[in-house]
Each structure stands twice: as C-alpha cells, then as structure tokens.
Amino acid sequence: EDQVTQSPEALRLQEGESSSLNCSYTVSGLRGLFWYRQDPGKGPEFLFTLYSAGEEKEKERLKATLTKKESFLHITAPKPEDSATYLCAVQAWNNDMRFGAGTRLTVKP
Amino acid sequence: KAGVTQTPRYLIKTRGQQVTLSCSPISGHRSVSWYQQTPGQGLQFLFEYFSETQRNKGNFPGRFSGRQFSNSRSEMNVSTLELGDSALYLCASSLGGSRTQRGAYEQYFGPGTRLTVT
C-alpha cells in the first residue's frame, strides 16, 4: 500500500536557524511528489512538484529535493512568517493521491 | 486569475441530516478533487472528477458522493450525517490533462468548508 511519512511531527527553530523536513514514501509508480504549506484554518498552498530522483526546486528560502525513497524540504534562514504546517503528498500513476500527516514548523523571532 | 472557491465556508448540521458543498475550480481546470481533513486523520482523499466523470475514489462510505457539471464546478453531498463527519472539507482543482503533461496534476486548494455536526 502507498505510504507517506513525514518527520519530525513538529519543529521549533530560531529565526535564521536552517533545517530540513523529511518526507519518506513508498508508492507503486511515482507520478509526482508535491509539497504544500498550510496555515491554520486555510487550504493548503501549492509549493513544489518533483517528478524524478535528483530533481530540485527552489523558491525563496525553500528548496525541495527528491530521491527514490524520500524528499527533503530545506529551509534556509527561516523567518517567523515561515511558520506553518508543511504537507507532502505523493501521486501514483493510477492517480491515487496520498498525503503525509505534515510537519508543524514554528519559527521564533 | 481567480482561485478555487468553496461555499459555504462554515456549516452546522445535526446528525441524520444531509449536506451539499460546492466548489468552483480555477478557470480552465477540468479536474476537481475532494478531501476531508481532521486533526486525527489528516488529509484524506474522497474522490476526483474529470470531465463530469468520477475518475478516482478514496475509501469512504457511500454516504459521501459527488458530481461535476459541464462547467467543471463540482458538488459534494454527505447524507445521514454522523458526528465523525465533522471536518474541514477541501476542494482542489488541477488541469488534469494527459499522463505525459507535466503540471497537469498540480492541485490548487480552496479555503475549505468547515462542517460541524452536532
């Protein structure tokens, strides 16, 4: 069965303290791996799509990477406004979409 | 370009009632997916519609149903509501094109409908 596991569940950082979030997955044929950001009471906001191992995408302080078994979301010099829950999702070739439980990131000023 | 819109934003119903939620996708998007989000279970996939046809379905009971109209707008219906149906219901739209079209499956979410069942 397809599975997505995100770690850690929660992460507290000081402003400027870089770190990484992990998304491990097993899927029968990967169509794409997606990263989203979700603020409380709102719908997830699309960040990145990664399609194949070795691919990297960047946006401001965020960088997403992909291997055959996991993806990392690197946050460089985070700011308090980066505080949110970050969700990872994988889509199989049969269109099945599965989300991880998310990592709740808090960045203290 | 307008984003995904969902109505209503908040809803309070009692057990046994039924409810219909509405979703308008981004213009040009032909695929609409529905999700249920709860603190305990996270985001769970309900179903996906593409060109008015259900293309994929999650593991939810038959009380949950949906449909899509020719303008790609979609509705989700839950009959005989239970307390456990209280959740944030999210709609997401995507281009939903061919298997080889990159970006076709990037989903953009609406703000959700917060359903409370008492």
Torsion of CA B105, A47, A20, A68, to 10 degrees: 20
Give the B window 7-66 contacts with A, CB below 8 Å. Answer: 33, 35, 42-45, 48, 55-56
Any idea which of A79-83, A96-100, B89-93 has the lowest mean pLDDT?
Answer: A96-100
What three-state secondary structure class fits A94? coil
The per-residue pLDDT for range A21-76, each reduced to its tens digit, is 999 999 888 989 999 999 998 999 999 999 999 999 999 999 999 999 999 999 99
Average pLDDT over residues A74-93: 96
Shortest Cα–Cα distance, A96 to chain B (Å): 7
Q: What is the pLDDT of residue B105?
A: 82
Q: Map tokens 């020719």 to a residue.
A: B70
Backbone angles phi, psi at B2, to 5 degrees: -70, 150
Q: What is the pLDDT of residue A96?
A: 83
Shortest Cα–Cα distance, B14 to chain A (Å): 22
Q: What is the pLDDT of residue B2?
A: 80
pLDDT at A10 exceeding the cut of 90:
yes
Encoding tokens for residue A69?
């078994």
What three-state secondary structure class fits B85? helix
> d(Cα B44, Cα B37) in Å, to the nearest integer?
6
Contact list, B35 vs chain A (CB under 8 Å): 99
Q: What is the pLDDT of residue A28?
A: 86
Q: Map tokens 């203290």 to a residue.
A: A108
Average pLDDT over residues A64-91: 97
Compute the half-sphere exposure of residue B88: CA atoms within 13 Å on the CB side of its CA.
19
Average pLDDT over residues A75-96: 94
The per-residue pLDDT for range B48-100, each reduced to its tens digit, is 999 999 988 999 999 999 999 999 999 999 999 999 999 999 999 998 766 55
